[in-house]
Structure 1
Amino acid sequence: MKIPSSPPPAPICVPCRLAAIGAVVLAMAGGFAYVAGCLTPHRLTTHRIIGAFEADNGPHPGFRRNHAKGVCVSGYFDSNGNAAALSSAGVFAAGRTPVIGRFAIPGGNPSAADTSVPIRSLALVFTQHDGEQWRTGMNSVPLFAVRTPEQFYQQLVAAKPDPATGKPNPATLKAFYAANPETQPLQAWVKGHPPSSSFANGSYYSVNAFRFVDAKGEVHAVRWAMVPETPFTPVTDAQKAAKNFLDADLDQRLQSGPLRWHLIVTVAALTDPTNDATHMWPNDRQQIDAGTLVIDHETAQDDGPCRDITFDPTVLPAGIETSDDPLLAARSAAYSLSYNRRTREEALNPNLHHPQQDGDRS
């Protein structure tokens, strides 16, 4: 893990201290402080973002505020050395790196049906031989709905269930989408790509841009994806009627052997934006197969190795850096606050019980 740079002297507040964890440059530290609300107290804060998640999903003590339903996995990354020319990170040197991960679905309700959302997620932590870590949280869509933390918060507010129906108000959501046309590319992509029938046969994308730094200090803007060897099939009618098919399917597949994905790194052209997660780069950009992710074990999150990991995408080893995407600082700050809240809830109530069918604790 890279040691964060120290921010300039400023009044200290608890959210700023939490938000600054994982910052690697002065600008990023400023971004964390901005999101936490310490520099601009009347603007968006991390507490407001997490509060909106809780308002949308209801109280679920001891669970993550987003991606509450999931399962721990473990395995390794077998690098072929192809990406070593782009990044000096040890994970890309030829050889094997141990991995702990987590499959999940978006949302803060651990009892939600697997078909409640069309998206799956895969989060990973690679631990290099030198002890540095690369953490990444990926989704099964290659782009995001909005560009900024402010828009994301507005989207959460618009999606708050109406007490009369228990569902979001269609008129409110329509008004949000009309006011934010950046959401249209993701909506179009989702309409043209049905959800996968399994965690195992889906592709998972970094969504945000990052920077790889090579041994000469040259910087390369990149995104990446985990592309499965298992052939894609869409969710079936039988699965649509089931509530918890994803975990059961994963367990059954792993009983037959490990599952594999290829880490495909896409290198941006100079004209490609790195600060806009709603914008996909053209398909003709250079792509490098950096190696194979192998998942060979799963464990329930109640006692699994991913339980106490925050998959903060700004925790990066030397050779990988954050880009200027404003969502990265917001994600890191929100993960930190979510972790603090759920662990405090468990400390205050050691008897919290999370039935397996309701999703795993995380």
Structure 2
Amino acid sequence: MIPTPLSTGQKTLRLLLIGLVPLVILVLFLWAGGWLTPERLTSDKLVSVLQQAGGEHPGYRRNHAKGICVIGTFASNGNASALSRAALFAPGDTPVTGRFAIAGGNPSAPDYAVPVRSMALAFQQKDGEQWRTGMNAMPLFPVATPEGFYALQTATLPDPATGKPDPQKLGAFVEKYPEFKAFLAWAKQYVPSSSWASDRFNSLNAFRFIDKTGAAHLVRWSMVPHAAYQAISAADKNNKDFLQQDLQQRLNQGPLEWDLVITVAQPGDDGSNATKVWPADRQTINAGTLVLTRAVPQQQGPCNDINYDPLILPDGIAASDDPLLNARSAAYAKSYNLRTHEQAQQTGTHL
């Protein structure tokens, strides 16, 4: 059958459509980068303001730059398998590559100067899927949105004249983001511990566990330490690397353990706002024990090349509608691309 020749109008329309495809791709690229909407918050802006706060340190993360790699396993007891069909929650062991860190972009910062600490973990399932999570040793996040986080970083940048944040800018920030007051109240009474080993690390963001029937359960989780809490000491404050040295000393004596405790939301609990702490009477499930056996310096360690993106999730775990999750994921990716490129330049290799 001989095809009907295209009319002049049809030919013109086809050529227009062919020409529009690269134009649409270009527009999407520019929009994603923030070029067409300069007022829109982008990962470039987030990473840039973090670098302003921490200084330029090529080859390092833009936040939580100072840290140490840890290696171990997660021993699941099977208790969480009713909530999530993720393979790691079935009874058995899953290899884990993790990282302890302190907040901030300066890899040489003294451990005692930064009260906010983090634990990041990558669980490697037998089926090849991974669960990556980044947790912090605080009960709530300072702000509810990416815009609030950006505003916080901007408001706390040191004034060149004084070397300290401008009180007026801080005051204006708190007025615009009043949820920050809850974090301030916690920070004022918080006494940091003497060890990562005794810190409780919380997901802060909510996620959804998907069970075998496809039903979703809104959850948060915490790594609850087996080691007893001890307050930071005067000796700790004279040692800029006391957290790393303490961790090595403890691991030389034996494994360190945390229980993975899942908190299950009830109807009405807000999963989109990390500044809201759920009531203490919510159901909790001990899903198993994280057992860490070894620590390795980060620059040559197995955690160095891992992007602990909170949205790298296995089947059985899904994101909630918390807006911070997508922002974290995008900023982590930007930071990862920058530092790996810088590391390649430092070593003379090519990506």
TM-score, length basis structure 2? 0.89
- Give the structure with higher Rg (CA): 2
What is the deviation of 1:192? 2.8
Q: Structure 2: state its 5+ residue gaps.
A: 1-21
What is the deviation of 1:190? 2.3
Residue 134, structure 1, aligned to residue 131, structure 2: yes
- 1:169 aligns with one of 152, 166, 170: 166
Q: Distance in 2 between matches of 1:323 and 1:152?
A: 19
Q: Distance in 2 between matches of 1:261 and 1:54?
A: 32
Residue 305, structure 1, aligned to residue 302, structure 2: yes
Task: Report the counterpart of residue 60 of structure 1 in structure 2.
Answer: 57
Of Structure 1 and Structure 2, the greater helix share is in: 2
What whole-Å deviation, never above 9, does each CA across 1:108-153 have from its counterpart, x for those lacking one?
Answer: 0111111222111000000101010000000001210001111111
Q: Distance in 2 between matches of 1:233 and 1:302?
A: 29
Q: Counterparts in 2 of 1:115-126, with a 5 A limit?
A: 115-126=112-123
Q: Distance in 2 between matches of 1:342 and 1:134?
A: 22
Task: Report the counterpart of residue 200 of structure 2 in structure 1.
Answer: 203
Letter in 2 for 1:336: A
Q: Distance in 1 between matches of 2:68 and 2:26?
A: 34
Task: Report the counterpart of residue 153 of structure 1 in structure 2.
Answer: 150
Distance 1:78 1:302, change over 3 A: same
Residue 215, structure 1, aligned to residue 212, structure 2: yes
Equivalent position SS for 2:347: coil
Task: Report the counterpart of residue 140 of structure 2 in structure 1.
Answer: 143
Distance 1:311 1:16, change over 3 A: farther
Residue 342, structure 1, aligned to residue 339, structure 2: yes
Task: Report the counterpart of residue 18 of structure 2 in structure 1.
Answer: none
Distance 1:39 1:89, change over 3 A: farther
What is the deviation of 1:242? 2.1
Checking the alignment, whether the CA contact within 8 Å between 1:64 and 1:108 is kept in structure 2 is yes
Q: Which has the higher contact order (CA 8 A, sep 6+)?
A: 1
Distance 1:347 1:184, change over 3 A: same
Task: Report the counterpart of residue 230 of structure 2 in structure 1.
Answer: 233
Same amino acid, percent of matched pairs: 55
Residue 91, structure 1, aligned to residue 88, structure 2: yes
Q: Distance in 2 between matches of 1:81 and 1:13?
A: 48
- Which shifted more, 325-334 or 191-200? 191-200
What whole-Å deviation, never above 9, does each CA across 1:283-311 have from its counterpart, x for those lacking one?
Answer: 00000000000000000012100010010
Letter in 2 for 1:174: G
Q: Distance in 2 between matches of 1:15 and 1:142?
A: 38
Task: Report the counterpart of residue 15 of structure 2 in structure 1.
Answer: none
What is the deviation of 1:40? 4.3
What is the deviation of 1:10? 9.6
What is the deviation of 1:253? 0.3
Letter in 1 for 2:194: S
Checking the alignment, whether the CA contact within 8 Å between 1:13 and 1:38 is kept in structure 2 is no
Task: Report the counterpart of residue 315 of structure 1 in structure 2.
Answer: 312
- 1:264 aligns with one of 261, 264, 275: 261
Distance 1:38 1:279, change over 3 A: farther
Letter in 1 for 2:88: V
Letter in 2 for 1:316: L
Letter in 1 for 2:67: G
What is the deviation of 1:16? 6.0
Q: Distance in 2 between matches of 1:15 and 1:45?
A: 14
Task: Report the counterpart of residue 193 of structure 1 in structure 2.
Answer: 190
Checking the alignment, whether the CA contact within 8 Å between 1:15 and 1:38 is kept in structure 2 is no
- 1:287 aligns with one of 269, 281, 284: 284
Alignment RMSD, CA only? Answer: 2.0
Distance 1:197 1:209, change over 3 A: same
Q: Distance in 1 between matches of 2:190 and 2:298?
A: 29
Task: Report the counterpart of residue 8 of structure 2 in structure 1.
Answer: none
Distance 1:13 1:191, change over 3 A: farther
Q: Distance in 2 between matches of 1:316 and 1:125?
A: 10
Task: Report the counterpart of residue 252 of structure 2 in structure 1.
Answer: 255
What is the deviation of 1:168? 1.9
Q: Distance in 2 between matches of 1:337 and 1:308?
A: 13
Letter in 2 for 1:67: H
Residue 275, structure 1, aligned to residue 259, structure 2: no
What is the deviation of 1:191? 2.4
Query: How many residues matched?
Result: 328
Q: Distance in 2 between matches of 1:280 and 1:124?
A: 23
What is the deviation of 1:42? 3.3
Residue 44, structure 1, aligned to residue 56, structure 2: no
Equivalent position SS for 1:101: strand
Q: Distance in 2 between matches of 1:328 and 1:181?
A: 21
